[in-house]
Chain A
Amino acid sequence: MEFTRRNALALGAGALVLAGLPVKGYAAGEAEIEAFTGGAAMADTGVTLTAPEIAENGNTVPIEVDAPGAVEIMVLALGNPTPPVATFKFGKLAASHQASTRIRLAGTQDVVAIAKMADGTFAKASSTVKVTIGGCGG
């Protein structure tokens, strides 16, 4: 997988990014996930979430999602005051089903990507991103 500057720009034109709204009264992100999947089961494979293990800067953490055959990929940062980060939508003519962006993380937390496939099934990937105050080098 090559991901170049040019792809990023092309993707910006092809993908629609929707910001979410906070919903109270559920566990972090639960309401949004339910609204997205309708409560359907989610496979462990089918979507790849690439995120750093430790963020270099919690204010701008690069992440990438990739789900061949997906029509939508929702990204959530479960530890943020507002968990939904973005939902990427891919049209029928989309050559690839991947997107990358930068997200702000309030602290160490799990980032989740859920892909909705063309056949209506769902897949989920999760990754813990640590936000640290910095330490000591060997």
Chain B
Amino acid sequence: MISRRDFLQTSMAAAALYGGSGFGNWAQLAAQQALTQDKLLEFDSFGNVSLIHVTDIHAQLKPLYFREPEVNIGVGNNKGAVPHVTGADFRRAYGIEDGSPSAYALTYNDFASLAKGYGRVGGLDRVATVINSIRADRPDALLLDGGDTWHGSYTCYHTQGQDMVNVMNALNPDAMTFHWEFTLGSDRVNEIVEGLPFAALGQNIFDAEWDEPAELFPPYKFFERGGVKIAVIGQAFPYMPIANPGWMFPEYAFGIRDENMQEMVDRVRAEGAELVVCLSHNGFDVDKRMAGIVTGIDVILSGHTHDALPEPVLVGDTIIVASGSNGKFVSRVDLDVRDGRMMGFRHKLIPIFSDVITPDAEVAKLIDEQRAPYLDDLTKVIGKTADDQTLYRRGNFNGTWDDLICDALISEREADIALSPGVRWGPSILPGQDITREDIWNVTSMTYGEAYRTEMTGEFLHIVLEDVADNLFNPDPYYQQGGDMVRVGGLGYRIDVTKPQGDRITEMTLLKTGEMIDPSKTYQVAGWASVNQGTEGPQIWDVVEAHIANQGTVSLDPNNSVKVVGV
């Protein structure tokens, strides 16, 4: 008898052979230079259940540019494993041709020139078209939103997430889980969730006082689709009160809680679930580890770390699907579920090429309605990029957007050293492109954006860098928080990613003098996004806007201040 695992692998191989995974088609497209909506959406329906996954949209309603990371280091068992593969290695791993649409969508090389050729990506009106097309094919497909939806833009900030709620409701999702949503504050989150027309799930969202499941966020929901009883279990971001300000949602506790996840899986199986889907905001490496510990999950739809993978990763009998961020991709996963178990799958990561996919007129109108009251502010041009300057964020140690933000903090706040959080959201700006107020908000918007200025000793600075580095490079994924390294301005350092916490960071240097950082000396440090209550200072978007306005045309020196070893 063929085992369940064999079934999965057989199906995967077959899919690759016939191009059903979607990837073979992409390479052909590159050769033909024939990028059409029909080709992008082409999919031979498979089995009896379809899942549609979107995640980490970060309130990006409109098409944008998004450069994928150049540096994404895996440690421990994940060294060299996807998603910790970038650039040419990534293209080699998936058979992607240089310069092809998939090279543009999934890797960073030649980003500016490919972006000019292939155009913008994303836009929820285009995402709507893709979802509608899948539903035309499979009317009862489940649409699942992995969270980080109600955060990240000018309009989202000013409407406290209402713009995103309105537009997402029009897409008619079946369930959602959460992360940055909670930074709206628990009162606002509760208010929205109480009125949501779909399930708000999180098996790991607990009442902080009693350490019991929070009533507003059920752990799972059952759906009957294609004659199959499906359980969708939610997994919110585990480290919200640590990575984000816990004082904004003091009633809630989180954590990975894989023992509770196992209980939920066992419970839904006992209640007759034939397919168990985990809608997760764990981050990819945490999901991989969890898939190896918790048994009985068929599909993990993975979010948080913003990875886009053209094929699912298989851990035991569980497939893990990663669908990118900022509205750039939609994943379709078709499953064959028979006799109470998953027999096979077919998957496609659909890149949302904005110039190729026709916007859904209704959703486009709805988006414009959300933006209309703010249009003058959104479109105000503050400056532009130089002809050889791309602004992007992704990368383990720095991105040019953060270099610019750190420069702004040092010059506008008269500091020696600047710190900028290693978040992974925020679209890119091409060379020679206008920088609007909306663009600045897209990389800075949050409910705790105050730009502080404070004194730190050299010793404390070292503790900060070591602490954040361990959140990224602890060999056990369960101790990782899924962000990137804190970005620094005015400071250089050496990092050995293989060392334990306390020994990774050495050779800390004050760049303006070239002197080594003295542990006992005090430095003026400016930063933003402090998780501490009562942080004072101007909002970061105002600081950055003033700096860009002063510069007129933005041109940055190459950042060579971080020396990375142990890779």
B493 within 8 A of A: no
Q: Are A54 and B211 in contact (CB under 8 A)?
A: no
Q: Are A56 and B254 in contact (CB under 8 A)?
A: yes
Given A5-B210, A137-B179, do A132 and B242 touch, yes or no (CB 8 Å)? Answer: yes
Q: Are A134 and B242 in contact (CB under 8 A)?
A: yes
A107 to B93 alpha-carbon distance, docked (Å): 41
B479 within 8 A of A: yes
Interchain CB contact (< 8 A) of B471 among A4, A56, A57, A135: A135
B256 within 8 A of A: yes
Given A4-B212, A136-B483, A136-B484, do A54 and B305 touch, yes or no (CB 8 Å)? Answer: no
A53 to B480 alpha-carbon distance, docked (Å): 9
Q: Are B237 and A137 in contact (CB under 8 A)?
A: yes
Measured between beta carbons, the chain A residues less than 8 angstroms from B210 are: 5, 8
Interchain CB contact (< 8 A) of A54 among B180, B212, B242, B421: B242
Contact indicator per residue, chain B 215-244, by CB within 8 Å of chain A (1) or not (0): 000000000000000000000011111111
Q: Are B246 and A57 in contact (CB under 8 A)?
A: yes
Q: Are B479 and A135 in contact (CB under 8 A)?
A: no
A10 within 8 A of B: no
Q: Are B479 and A136 in contact (CB under 8 A)?
A: no
Q: Are B531 and A130 in contact (CB under 8 A)?
A: no
Measured between beta carbons, the chain A residues less than 8 angstroms from B484 are: 136, 138
Q: Are A137 and B212 in contact (CB under 8 A)?
A: no
Which secondary structure dominates chain B's binding surface? loop
A5 to B566 alpha-carbon distance, docked (Å): 48
A8 to B209 alpha-carbon distance, docked (Å): 12
Given A5-B210, A56-B253, do A138 and B263 touch, yes or no (CB 8 Å)? Answer: no
Q: Number of residues in B with C-beta < 8 Å to the partner?
A: 49
Q: Are A62 and B421 in contact (CB under 8 A)?
A: no
Q: Are B304 and A138 in contact (CB under 8 A)?
A: yes
Q: Are B255 and A56 in contact (CB under 8 A)?
A: yes
Q: Are B486 and A56 in contact (CB under 8 A)?
A: no
B422 within 8 A of A: yes
- A-binding segment of B33-41, B364-372, B460-468: B460-468
B424 within 8 A of A: yes
Measured between beta carbons, the chain A residues less than 8 angstroms from B479 are: 53-54, 128, 130
Measured between beta carbons, the chain B residues less than 8 angstroms from A12 are: none
Q: Nearest CB to that of A130 among chain B residues? A: B479
A82 within 8 A of B: no
Contact indicator per residue, chain B 169-185, by CB within 8 Å of chain A (1) or not (0): 00000000001100000
| Min CB–CB distance A94 → chain B (angstroms) | 21
Q: Are A136 and B529 in contact (CB under 8 A)?
A: yes
Which secondary structure dominates chain A's binding surface? loop
A73 to B351 alpha-carbon distance, docked (Å): 54
Measured between beta carbons, the chain B residues less than 8 angstroms from A62 are: 211, 253
Contact indicator per residue, chain A 47-69, by CB within 8 Å of chain B (1) or not (0): 01010111111000010000000
A100 within 8 A of B: yes
B478 within 8 A of A: yes
Contact indicator per residue, chain B 476-508, by CB within 8 Å of chain A (1) or not (0): 101101111010000000000000010000000
B334 within 8 A of A: no
Instruction: Specify which of A5, A100, A134 lies most central, judged by the most chain B CB atoms within 10 Å of its CB.
Output: A134
A35 within 8 A of B: no
Measured between beta carbons, the chain B residues less than 8 angstroms from A52 are: 255-256
| Min CB–CB distance B539 → chain A (angstroms) | 18
A132 to B481 alpha-carbon distance, docked (Å): 11
B470 within 8 A of A: yes
A window 60-113: CB within 8 A of B: 62, 100, 108
B458 within 8 A of A: no
B423 within 8 A of A: yes
Q: Are B422 and A136 in contact (CB under 8 A)?
A: yes
Given A53-B256, A54-B481, A57-B241, do A135 and B212 touch, yes or no (CB 8 Å)? Answer: no
B window 58-90: CB within 8 A of A: none
Q: Nearest CB to that of B244 among chain A residues? A: A137
Q: Nearest CB to that of B486 among chain A residues? A: A136
A54 to B467 alpha-carbon distance, docked (Å): 12
Interchain CB contact (< 8 A) of B483 among A8, A50, A132, A135: A135
Q: Nearest CB to that of B460 among chain A residues? A: A133
Q: Nearest CB to that of A63 among chain B residues? A: B211
Measured between beta carbons, the chain A residues less than 8 angstroms from B486 are: 135-136
Interchain CB contact (< 8 A) of A136 among B208, B256, B421: B421
Q: Are A132 and B467 in contact (CB under 8 A)?
A: yes
A1 within 8 A of B: yes
Given A130-B479, A136-B484, A137-B481, do A56 and B259 touch, yes or no (CB 8 Å)? Answer: no
Interchain CB contact (< 8 A) of A137 among B243, B253, B256, B476: B243
| Min CB–CB distance B513 → chain A (angstroms) | 27
A52 to B306 alpha-carbon distance, docked (Å): 24
B383 within 8 A of A: no
A132 to B242 alpha-carbon distance, docked (Å): 8
B283 within 8 A of A: yes
Question: Residues of B at under 8 Å CB distance from A?
Answer: 56, 148, 179-180, 208, 210-212, 237-244, 246, 253-256, 259, 263, 283, 304-306, 421-425, 463-464, 467-468, 470-471, 476, 478-479, 481-484, 486, 501, 529, 531
Q: Beyond A52-B256, A137-B237: 7 further Cβ-contacts under 8 Å?
A: A53-B478, A53-B479, A135-B486, A136-B422, A136-B423, A136-B481, A137-B423
Question: Residues of A at under 8 Å CB distance from B?
Answer: 1, 3-5, 8, 48, 50, 52-57, 62, 100, 108, 128, 130, 132-138
A-B contact pairs, 18 of them (CB 8 A): A1-B259, A4-B212, A52-B256, A55-B242, A56-B239, A56-B246, A62-B253, A132-B242, A135-B242, A135-B422, A135-B486, A137-B179, A137-B237, A137-B239, A137-B423, A138-B424, A138-B481, A138-B484
